[in-house]
Amino acid sequence: MEATRAGRDLMTKSAKLLINERYIALVGVLNRELVLLDRLIFKLAEAELLTRADESRFLGKIFDEVDAVEDDLGSLEVARSMLVGDVTAALGLANDTLTLTQLIEYAPDLAVEPLEGLMRRLTEAMEEVQELRQRGSRLVIERLDQLNAAIDRVEPGMFTQDNYNEHGYVTAPTVTASRFDYSA
């Protein structure tokens, strides 16, 4: 840490300004990523609620919005990667040698706390997204199992042409369902 501070003291004023601008831009990009992750969390939670309420007709729209958020996140990841490359180049380091977390060590003093806070909140948000995706997957599998069980309970021949009247309404079955026959 001391070596990075000593190296910063030897930089020219214009190099320091460039680095400060890049770090400010990086904070902005990370903040925007956090906003999009919060929106993604909201949409995934919304999808979970709709699934639990058996309102699956709206899920397509929710997942279109999830895809749009993920596309925006992908664009921001590219912008973040480019900014990290700019910062490492301005610091005189080889590109792709530092992670974003390691880059915080080289940040100007005023940027350290916001960057650390953003990184912590981004990590928490990503963990929440992962948890919501896993819960949503389990919920969909449960719903499919329930649907399969319901289909298995339908008696063969129950919905044939013979069981509909001339107006298209289902008529009463002529044979009682075997699941109600307790004498067997």
Query: Under 8 Å CB-to-CB from 97, ≥6 apart: which residues?
Result: 88
The answer to whether residue 158 scores a pLDDT higher than 80 is: no
Nearest-angstrom CA–CA distance, 99 and 87: 11
Contacts of residues 44-48 at CB distance under 8 Å and 24 or more positions apart, as own/partner, are 44/129, 44/132, 44/133, 44/136, 45/132, 47/136, 48/132, 48/135, 48/136, 48/139
Give residue 93's pLDDT band: very low, low, confident or very high (50, 70, 90). confident
Find the distance separating the first CA and the last CA of the chain, reported in whole Å: 81
pLDDT in tens, 35-65: 999 999 999 999 888 888 888 788 889 889 9
- Two tokens at 83? 């900014």
Quick one: 138 exposed, middle or buried, by C-beta within 10 A (0-12, 13-18, 19+)? exposed
Give residue 183's pLDDT band: very low, low, confident or very high (50, 70, 90). low
Give residue 91's pLDDT band: very low, low, confident or very high (50, 70, 90). confident
pLDDT in tens, 108-129: 888 889 999 999 999 999 999 9
pLDDT in tens, 57-77: 888 898 899 999 999 999 999
Contact between residue 11 and residue 37 where contact means Cβ atoms under 8 Å apart: no
Its pTM stands at 0.70
Q: What is the DSSP string of the chain?
A: -HHHHHHHHTS-HHHHHHHHHHHHHHHHHHHHHHHHHHHHHHHHHHHHHHHHTT-GGGHHHHHHHHHHHHHHHHHHHHHHHHHHHHHHHHTTPPTTSS-HHHHGGGS-HHHHHHHHHHHHHHHHHHHHHHHHHHHHHHHHHHHHHHHHHHHHHSPTTTTSGGGB-TTSPBPPPSS--GGG----
* pLDDT of res. 98: 76
The answer to whether residue 155 scores a pLDDT higher than 70 is: no
Domains plus CATH for the chain?
2-159 (1.20.58)
Which residue would you say has higher pLDDT here, 68 or 101? 68
Give residue 160's pLDDT band: very low, low, confident or very high (50, 70, 90). low
* pLDDT of res. 15: 78
pLDDT in tens, 143-154: 778 777 777 776
Nearest-angstrom CA–CA distance, 52 and 50: 5
The answer to whether residue 97 scores a pLDDT higher than 90 is: no
